[in-house]
């Protein structure tokens, strides 16, 4: 596919086009993903998650800056964000978004959470693949900080930065709600306001009792707004990343991701195939009526349909 050759050559238009094909589930999507697949696996993928207003976008801007200083190209996938990124690019304006202050080493794309309430769009994982194949060295995925998207981001990224801030109400409550299981690196942001130091200690305490004896997750104290502590955070992230590579955990995580991906493709395909074979859209109402009126039993009925289908397949062979 021409678009694949072009996107691998970092052609911005081709990258944007490929993401659109994925988002809209256009014809050619499967071939596109298959063709980029051999070119993936080089990018570092970091998720940035945390409650609304905790400073994720401000932090992402700092991370972009630092990564650019290191000479790394950066792509950002923002899952339905509400705050502006630097360089005058407001998310929601896709054309301008594609230029980060005219720096071709930065690509920013927002993804709608279309039909996927509170979660990450199913297209996000494939979008990460496109950006990876396009050669972006670091990919940052910012979520909207509500429930489901925080869980899902773990499945799409190598490491997750959980951004927390003091004064969001009952912090301990939040920790109990399972949010503490999400982070690889904990970032206490807004160091410049009261309570940040204390929150850091509380998090360290909770992490220590949650996993006694194991190496605790790092907790960094930063102010994204004033750029305080960001260099140390970067060092922490890179150290953590190296550890993951060395102890094989990164490979395990990525294999887990492949497993989720192919399982999803498989169920989708099987489902689609059976839908077509059974003409589900045409027959479903009739079947519902039959089961509703107790003319047939649900398991026996469906099992019988599938058995008949399998027999027909054998006869075809
Ligand atoms: N005092 C202080 N304010 C900060 C800091 N970092 C970010 N903010 C402010 O916090 C507000 C929210 O910042 P964002 O970066 O938009 O937060 P977000 O987590 O991306 O927000 P959503 O995407 O809406 O969930 C903005 O007004 C920022 O200027 C900080 O270190 N200190
Ligand atoms: Mg944001």
Over residues 100-121, the pLDDT tens digits come to: 557 889 998 887 655 444 455 6
Query: Measured between alpha carbons, how far is 89 from 109 in angstroms, rounded to an integer?
Result: 11
pLDDT digits (tens, 9 = 90+) for 48-69: 988 888 999 999 999 999 999 9
Q: Is 229 in the pocket of ligand 1 (CB under 6 A)?
A: no
Split at pLDDT 50, 70, 90, the class of 88 is: very low
- Ligand 1 atom showing the smallest separation from residue 222 Cα: 31
Question: Which three-class secondary structure string do you get for the chain?
Answer: CHHHHHHHCCCHHHHHHHHHHHHCCCCCHHHHHHHHHHHCCCCEEEEEECCCCCCHHHHHHHHHHHHHHCCCCEEEEEECCCCCCCCCCCCCCHHHHCCECCECCEEEEEECCCCCCCCCCCHHHHHHHHHHHCCCCEEEEECCCCCHHHHHHHHHCCEEEEEECCCCCCHHHHHHCCHHHCCCEEEECCCCCCCHHHHHHHHHHHHHHHCCCCCCCCEEECECCCCECHHHHHHHHHHHHHHHHHCCHHHHHHHHHHHHHHHHHHHHHHHHHHHHHCCHHHHHHHHHHHHHCCCCCHHHHHHHHHHHHHHHHHHHC
Is 174 a residue whose pLDDT tops 70?
no
Note if the pTM is more than 0.75. Answer: yes
Q: pLDDT (tens digit, 9 = 90+) per residue, 221-270? A: 999 999 999 999 999 999 999 999 999 999 999 999 899 889 988 988 88
The reported pLDDT for the residue numbered 233 is: 98
Q: Is the predicted pLDDT of residue 23 greater than 80, yes or no? A: yes
Instruction: Please tell me the distance between residue 49's alpha carbon and the centre of ligand 2 in angstroms.
Output: 9
CATH level 3 topology of 2-246:
Rossmann fold (3.40.50)
Residue 187 alpha carbon to ligand 2 centre in Å:
15
Nearest ligand 1 atom, CA 193: 1
Can you give the residue ranges of every domain in the chain?
2-246, 260-316
From first CA to last CA, the distance across the chain in angstroms is 33
For the segment 67-75, the average pLDDT, to the nearest whole number, is: 95
Strand order through the sheet with 185-188: 106-111, 74-79, 138-142, 44-49, 159-164, 185-188, 219-221
pLDDT of residue 190: 96
Task: Say whether pLDDT at 209 is over 90.
Answer: no
Which residue has the CA at smallest separation from atom 8 of ligand 1? 55
pLDDT of residue 146: 55
* Low-confidence winner among 4-13, 86-95, 141-150, 207-216 (lowest mean pLDDT): 86-95
**Band (169; pLDDT cuts 50, 70, 90):** low
Does residue 98 or residue 133 have the better pLDDT?
133
310 pLDDT more than 90: no
């Amino acid at each position: 596919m021409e678009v694949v050759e072009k996107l691998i050559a970092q052609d911005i238009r081709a990258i944007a086009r490929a993401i659109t094909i994925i988002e809209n589930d256009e014809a050619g999507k499967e071939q596109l993903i298959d063709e980029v697949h051999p070119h993936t696996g080089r990018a570092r993928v970091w998720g940035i998650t945390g409650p609304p207003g905790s400073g994720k976008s401000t932090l992402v801007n700092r991370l972009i800056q630092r990564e650019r200083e290191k000479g790394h190209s950066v792509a950002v996938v923002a899952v339905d964000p509400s705050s502006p990124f630097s360089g005058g690019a407001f998310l929601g304006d896709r054309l301008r978004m594609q230029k980060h202050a005219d720096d071709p080493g930065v690509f920013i794309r927002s993804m709608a959470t279309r039909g996927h309430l509170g979660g990450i769009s199913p297209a996000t994982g494939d979008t990460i693949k496109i950006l990876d194949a396009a050669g972006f060295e670091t990919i940052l995925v910012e979520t909207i900080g509500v429930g489901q998207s925080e869980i899902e981001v773990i499945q799409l990224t190598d490491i997750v930065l959980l951004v927390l801030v003091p004064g969001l109400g009952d912090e301990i409550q939040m920790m109990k709600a399972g949010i503490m299981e999400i982070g690889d690196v904990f970032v206490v942001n807004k160091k410049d306001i009261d309570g940040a130091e204390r929150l850091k200690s509380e998090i360290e305490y909770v992490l220590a009792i949650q996993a006694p004896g194991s190496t605790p997750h790092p907790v960094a104290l930063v102010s994204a707004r004033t750029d305080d502590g960001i260099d140390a955070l970067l060092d922490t992230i890179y150290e953590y990343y190296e550890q993951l590579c060395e102890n094989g955990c990164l490979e395990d995580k990525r294999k887990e991701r492949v497993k989720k991906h192919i399982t999803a493709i498989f169920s989708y395909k099987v489902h689609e195939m059976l839908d077509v074979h059974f003409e589900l859209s045409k027959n479903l109402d009739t079947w519902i009526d039959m089961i509703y009126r107790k003319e047939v039993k649900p398991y026996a009925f469906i099992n019988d349909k599938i058995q008949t289908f399998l027999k027909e397949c054998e006869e075809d062979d």
